């Protein structure tokens, strides 16, 4: 074997790396596993050893993605080097987000040809943050001017100080007023898809396994963090996290690293955005306790949107949907004055997320009914 590359990072960056190094055709991991299973079907150890020594099949490139490890047994992870090279002469092996056991076994046997590579995450400088803040004023995140500014001050401070430690922001306030949308905007600015962790969807036992690790094939926090496209990580509804799990965040926020039974990940330059429905900072301190409260760099309040801001949201939602439908369909919606009906009833809407769905459904109900009538005529 000429080269083994252990790549830690996103699938997008991994694909860019192998493409940059001229890998256009490769043998997938599961094809090697299929061939391995054929060779050991008779469960003849001597035959296996013999195959490993003679008649090796030359393969130029093998590429293994992070998700591939979820499709194999624990036996494959434990005996990874022997299984991969059995009956093969592999020239170049590229692996994304290998579990710790795979890494260690490769380091023992192939240390002289091993290369470690990782995602080169975009890190904004202070001037970039200023430009981002100015662009936010005309974004689809309506209102929340104080929250936008406090967020950008935090990003600016992090960019200037470069302390090699995570930035932790807590967004609090009512649901559906722009917390997640602002997080998405930040992630887009940092050049990738937002990594979103949702503990509220898990029972305590499930959350425990997700954080500390289960079998290598199960989803885990460490694997999700390893696969992130940017350094922006949203932990949704942090107020729903069990206090029994808080000690994990002490290490993560203090030391900038996280490790479970299968993976180890560097999060030293991450921007953690914790969302919650807390009402005020006193409430935050009482529920989360001082150890977590003191590790949050900035607590940022999101307010209920004003009538004028909600009207602007309605205008933007209609504008967005109008771009996707025909001029004829736009005229149909205008004829029934659907937008005016929403603008006149703006006081009853508080949650932007629900408002978006209401408008979308109403528009397509009108369009669908129109088509049905045409068919009947």
Q: Tens of pLDDT along the chain (377 residues)?
A: 889 999 999 999 999 999 999 998 998 988 888 877 776 654 554 444 544 454 677 889 999 999 999 888 888 888 888 888 776 788 999 999 999 999 999 998 899 999 999 999 998 999 999 999 999 887 878 888 999 999 999 999 999 988 888 999 999 998 888 999 999 999 999 988 999 998 776 777 888 888 888 888 788 999 999 999 999 999 998 988 888 888 889 989 998 999 999 999 999 999 999 999 898 999 999 999 999 999 999 999 999 888 998 898 899 899 999 999 999 999 999 999 999 998 988 888 877 878 888 999 999 999 999 888 877 76
Query: Are residues 95 and 217 both part of a single domain?
Result: no
DSSP class of 337? T
Q: What is the pLDDT of residue 55?
A: 60
Angle at 338 between CA 334 and CA 344, to 5 degrees: 125
Q: Which of 301, 319, 348 is the last residue of a domain?
A: 301
CB atoms within 10 A of CB 39: 17
Query: d(Cα 246, Cα 259) in Å, to the nearest integer?
Result: 15
Q: Which of 301, 331, 347 is the last residue of a domain?
A: 301
Q: Which of 251, 277, 301 is the last residue of a domain?
A: 301
Query: Are residues 68 and 164 both part of a single domain?
Result: no
Query: Are residues 353 and 367 both part of a single domain?
Result: yes
The CATH number that applies at residue 296 is: 3.40.50.300
Query: Are residues 205 and 294 both part of a single domain?
Result: yes
The pTM for the full model equals 0.86
Q: What is the pLDDT of residue 47?
A: 45
How many domains are there within the chain? 3
Query: Are residues 208 and 323 both part of a single domain?
Result: no
Query: Are residues 80 and 144 both part of a single domain?
Result: no
Query: Are residues 133 and 249 both part of a single domain?
Result: yes
Query: Are residues 284 and 144 both part of a single domain?
Result: yes
Q: What is the pLDDT of residue 164?
A: 83
Query: Are residues 153 and 288 both part of a single domain?
Result: yes
Task: Evaluate whether 11 touches 64 at the Cβ level (below 8 Å).
Answer: no
Query: Are residues 205 and 270 both part of a single domain?
Result: yes
Query: Are residues 74 and 159 both part of a single domain?
Result: no
Query: d(Cα 270, Cα 264) in Å, to the nearest integer?
Result: 15
Strand order in the sheet with 298-301: 195-198, 232-236, 271-276, 167-172, 298-301
Residue 322, domain extent: 307-376
Which phi and psi (to 5°) does residue 95 adopt?
A: -130, 130
CB atoms within 10 A of CB 59: 17
Query: Are residues 206 and 88 both part of a single domain?
Result: no
Q: What is the pLDDT of residue 52?
A: 46
Angle at 221 between CA 215 and CA 227, to 5 degrees: 100
């Amino acid at each position: 074997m000429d080269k083994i590359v252990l790549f830690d990072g996103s699938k997008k960056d991994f694909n860019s790396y192998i493409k940059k190094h001229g890998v256009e055709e490769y043998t997938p991991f599961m094809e090697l596993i299929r061939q391995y299973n054929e060779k050991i079907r008779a469960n003849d150890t001597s035959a296996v050893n013999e195959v490993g020594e003679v008649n090796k099949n030359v393969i130029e490139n093998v590429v293994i993605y992070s998700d591939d490890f979820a499709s194999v047994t624990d036996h494959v992870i434990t005996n990874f080097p022997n299984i991969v090279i059995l009956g093969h002469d592999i020239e170049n092996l590229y692996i994304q987000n290998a579990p710790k056991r795979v890494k260690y076994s490769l380091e023992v046997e192939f240390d002289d040809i091993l290369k470690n590579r990782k995602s080169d995450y975009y890190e904004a400088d202070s001037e970039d943050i200023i430009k981002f803040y100015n662009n936010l004023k005309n974004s689809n995140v309506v209102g929340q001017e104080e929250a936008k500014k406090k967020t950008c001050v935090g990003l600016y401070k992090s960019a200037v100080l470069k302390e090699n430690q995570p930035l932790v922001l807590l967004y609090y306030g009512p649901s559906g007023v722009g917390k997640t949308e602002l997080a998405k905007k930040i992630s887009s600015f940092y050049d990738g898809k937002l990594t979103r962790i949702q503990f509220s969807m898990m029972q305590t036992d499930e959350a425990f396994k997700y954080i500390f690790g289960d079998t290598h094939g199960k989803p885990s926090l460490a694997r999700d963090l390893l696969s992130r496209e940017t350094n922006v990580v949203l932990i949704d509804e942090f107020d729903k996290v069990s206090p029994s799990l808080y000690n994990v965040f002490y290490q993560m926020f203090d030391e900038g690293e996280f490790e479970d039974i299968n993976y180890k990940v560097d999060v030293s330059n991450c921007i953690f955005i914790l969302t919650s429905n807390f009402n005020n900072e006193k409430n935050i301190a009482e529920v989360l306790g001082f150890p977590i409260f003191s590790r949050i760099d900035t607590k940022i309040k999101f307010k209920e949107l004003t009538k004028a801001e909600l009207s602007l949201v309605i205008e933007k939602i209609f504008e967005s949907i109008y771009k996707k439908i025909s001029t004829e369909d736009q005229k149909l919606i205008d004829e029934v004055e659907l937008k005016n009906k929403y603008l006149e009833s703006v006081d009853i809407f508080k949650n932007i997320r629900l408002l978006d769905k209401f408008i979308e459904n109403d528009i397509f109900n009108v369009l669908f009914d129109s088509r049905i009538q045409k068919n009947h005529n």
